[in-house]
């Protein structure tokens, strides 16, 4: 096993040496379903854009490590001033600097690019490591900075990258960290060379700064279910219980401070209780609905780089909705939908069609309505001429999540959650038409966002297939709401 370290392995080791060891020795144990936030933070689109921050630059082409290092040496020797992906290696330590400014005479400035909107502690470690590698090689690092997204930037007609990015000078702090980096490098290399998996108890660092993909592996000996599967408990309280040996649901029931919902989750789990139904409460909720009745669900994406005028980085851009509806009680279930084509700003067109599709004064249902209401309010702010009809839709929304949040209807299979992800399969365990796993290509909101973002680069056939997948996915979201409402009616008698 080679004890070499890259920048990202070093940062893994800062978070947890055991994570580093597992990445080196047992990578097959990594749970791919854990969103790799560390990789997302290093978003290549943002990195590519930032390369232009300092004017003309030369990029070291991605490829074999030794080739990248040789090319960097060649560019430095040729006096190239701005080098992107400048790559270095020293004593088994490797790093690629996002943007290197070559001031000549061995003096350089390094700029690490992140798609986050502020500087986090792990970024200091990241930049300190790069400074260490460069100075071990004999360079003098006169400036070490983090380049991140400026959340306050509002795009005009054209993208202004110097306003989109904020440059934070970390030089003094990372210089003071150099001795600590040297010591940590020795410690982490020793850790990698060890053939035994390091012993490390669980802690909040398993989720901070990034969720660890080895969580399943590290918790495989815990009783099932356990404190980490309890709904509505803060992570630090979970760990407090865990460290006190209050781990199983039995332990929790006996010894932990629980709220009513948590007690319910545990009792239903341990005693296998039948469904809990408060028919009066459900009837009261149903009496608040009226016909025509609409079921609305939005899909959105959050580009780090604002694509449209008046958008800020990470704004939620709504690009799709599905609308099932009944014009009258007992009438047929009808459907309308909107899905933007890639390229233009979808918000105006979507807002206009939404105002046409949902008549004034009707009752609209959403699941977890804060999201739909939030997006509608943003659209109303953007388009004052559509403000009245949009706010009319906004004010007419009822949250289908409420009966489940209030535990008017609860089953063991909901596992303490009222999210639609748990509620739907709990209510319809055997219904393939309501199973998102049976969809093609798009199975959740994250995949829908990614699919829409990717549409801009698709050819006609792929685009058509992608649109069909998105329409089916969002359509199922509102159809599921229709079925959930039916189930509530059935249970309320
Ligand atoms: S789950 Fe926690 S203890 Fe296990 S490797 Fe990851 S960070 Fe370390």
Spatial neighbors of 281 by CB under 8 A, at least 6 apart, are: 403, 406, 408
Q: pLDDT tens track of the chain, all 493 residues?
A: 688 999 999 999 999 999 999 999 999 999 988 876 555 655 678 999 999 899 999 999 999 999 999 999 999 999 999 999 999 999 999 999 999 999 999 999 999 999 999 999 999 999 999 999 999 999 999 999 999 999 999 999 999 999 999 999 999 999 999 999 999 999 999 999 999 999 999 999 999 999 999 999 999 999 999 999 999 999 999 999 999 999 999 999 999 999 999 999 999 999 989 999 999 999 999 999 999 999 999 999 999 999 999 999 999 999 999 999 999 999 999 999 999 999 899 999 999 999 999 999 999 999 999 999 999 999 999 999 999 999 999 999 999 999 999 999 999 999 999 999 999 999 999 899 999 999 999 999 999 999 999 999 999 999 999 999 999 999 999 999 999 999 999 999 8
Same domain, 63 and 164: yes
Around ligand 1, the residues with Cβ closer than 6 Å are 16, 18-19, 22, 200, 202, 205-206, 212, 214-215, 218
Same domain, 459 and 341: yes
Give the CATH number of the domain where residue 77 resides. Answer: 3.90.320
- Total domains, the chain: 3
B/e letters for 255-265, b = 16+ CB within 10 Å, e = fewer, are ebebeebbebb
Q: Is 276 helix (H, G, I), strand (E, B) or coil?
A: strand
Task: Summarize the chain as % helix, strand, coil (round to 5).
Answer: 50, 15, 35
Three-state helix/strand/coil letters over 160-205 = CHHHHEEEEECHHHHHHCHHHHHHHHHHHHHHHHCCCCCCCCCCHH
Backbone angles phi, psi at 89, to 5 degrees: -145, 140
Q: How far is the CA of 115 from the centre of ligand 1 (A)?
A: 24
Residue 110, beta-bridge partner list: 100, 144
Q: Which element (helix H / strand E) includes 279?
A: helix 279-287
Q: What distances in angstroms separate CA 448 from CA 320, 324, 454, 477, one per listed residue?
A: 10, 19, 10, 12
Q: How far is the CA of 235 from the centre of ligand 1 (A)?
A: 15
Q: How far is the CA of 126 from the centre of ligand 1 (A)?
A: 19
Same domain, 258 and 284: no
The dihedral over CA atoms of 365, 368, 370, 373, expressed in degrees to the nearest 10, equals: -30
Q: How far is the CA of 216 from the centre of ligand 1 (A)?
A: 9
Same domain, 150 and 279: no
Same domain, 266 and 288: no
Same domain, 314 and 327: yes
* pTM of the predicted protein model: 0.90
Residue nearest to atom 4 of ligand 1 (CA): 218
Task: Classify residue 330: in a domain, yes or no.
Answer: yes
Q: How far is the CA of 253 from the centre of ligand 1 (A)?
A: 27
Q: Is 93 helix (H, G, I), strand (E, B) or coil?
A: strand
Residue nearest to atom 3 of ligand 1 (CA): 202
Q: What distances in angstroms separate CA 170 from CA 127, 165, 176, one per listed residue?
A: 8, 15, 10
Q: Are 202 and 239 spatial neighbours (Cβ–Cβ below 8 Å)?
A: yes
Same domain, 376 and 364: yes
Q: What distances in angstroms separate CA 141 from CA 130, 131, 145, 358, one per listed residue?
A: 10, 7, 11, 60
**Range of the structural domain that residue 291 is part of:** 274-493
Give the CATH number of the domain where residue 355 resides. Answer: 3.30.420.10
Same domain, 267 and 278: no
Q: Residue ranges of the alpha helices (H) in 398-459?
A: 402-405, 420-427, 445-455
120 burial via Cβ count (<10 Å: 0-12, 13-18, 19+): middle
Backbone angles phi, psi at 148, to 5 degrees: -130, 170
Give the CATH number of the domain where residue 261 resides. Answer: 1.10.150
Task: Classify residue 128: in a domain, yes or no.
Answer: yes
For residue 374, the number of C-alpha atoms closer than 13 Å in the C-beta half-sphere is: 12
| Sign of the Cα pseudo-torsion (180, 183, 189, 192, in order) | negative
Task: Classify residue 204: in a domain, yes or no.
Answer: no
Same domain, 415 and 449: yes
d(CA 328, CA 302) in angstroms, rounded, equals: 36
- The rounded radius of gyration (Å) of the Cα atoms in the chain is 27
């Amino acid at each position: 096993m080679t004890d070499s370290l890259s920048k990202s392995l070093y940062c893994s080791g800062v978070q947890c040496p055991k994570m580093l060891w597992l990445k080196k020795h047992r990578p097959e144990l990594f749970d791919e379903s854990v969103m790799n936030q560390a990789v997302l933070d290093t978003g290549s689109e943002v990195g590519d854009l930032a390369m232009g921050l300092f004017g003309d630059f030369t990029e070291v082409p991605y490829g074999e490590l030794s080739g990248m290092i040789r090319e960097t040496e060649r560019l430095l020797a040729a006096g190239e001033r701005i080098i992107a992906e400048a790559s270095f290696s020293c004593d088994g330590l490797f790093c690629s600097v996002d943007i290197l400014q070559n001031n000549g005479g061995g003096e350089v400035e390094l700029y690490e690019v992140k798609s986050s909107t502020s500087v986090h502690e792990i970024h200091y470690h990241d930049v300190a490591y790069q400074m260490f590698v460069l100075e071990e090689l004999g360079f003098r690092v006169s400036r070490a900075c983090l380049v991140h997204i400026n959340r306050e930037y509002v795009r005009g007609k054209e993208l202004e990258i110097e306003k989109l990015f904020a440059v934070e000078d970390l030089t003094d702090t990372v210089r003071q960290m150099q001795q600590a980096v040297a010591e940590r490098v020795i410690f982490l290399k020793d850790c990698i060379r060890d053939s035994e998996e390091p012993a490390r108890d669980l802690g909040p660092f398993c989720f901070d700064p990034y969720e660890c993909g080895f969580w399943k592996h590290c918790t495989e000996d815990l009783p099932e279910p356990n404190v980490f599967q309890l709904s509505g408990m803060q992570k630090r309280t979970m760990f407090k219980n865990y460290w006190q040996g209050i781990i199983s649901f039995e332990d929790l029931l006996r010894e932990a401070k629980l709220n009513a919902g948590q007690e319910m989750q545990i009792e239903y789990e341990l005693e296998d209780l039948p469904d809990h139904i408060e028919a009066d409460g459900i009837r009261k909720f149903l009496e608040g609905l009226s016909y025509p009745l609409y079921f609305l669900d939005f899909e959105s994406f959050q580009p780090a780089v604002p694509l449209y005028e008046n958008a800020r980085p990470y704004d939620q851009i709504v690009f799709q909705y599905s609308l099932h509806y009944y014009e009258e009680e007992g009438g047929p279930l009808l459907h309308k939908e909107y899905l933007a084509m890639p390229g233009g700003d979808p918000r105006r067109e979507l807002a206009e069609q939404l105002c046409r599709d949902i008549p004034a004064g009707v009752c609209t249902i959403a699941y977890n309505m804060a999201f739909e209401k939030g997006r509608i309010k943003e659209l109303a702010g953007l388009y004052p001429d559509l403000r009245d009809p949009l706010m009319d839709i906004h004010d007419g929304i009822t949250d289908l999540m409420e009966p489940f949040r209030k535990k008017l209807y609860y089953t063991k299979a909901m596992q303490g959650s009222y999210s639609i992800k748990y509620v739907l399969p709990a209510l319809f365990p055997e219904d393939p038409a309501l199973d998102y796993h049976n969809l093609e290509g798009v199975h959740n909101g994250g995949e829908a966002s990614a699919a829409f973002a990717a549409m801009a680069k698709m050819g006609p056939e792929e685009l058509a297939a992608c649109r069909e997948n998105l329409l089916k996915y969002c359509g199922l979201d509102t159809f599921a709401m229709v079925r959930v409402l039916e189930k509530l009616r059935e249970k309320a008698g």
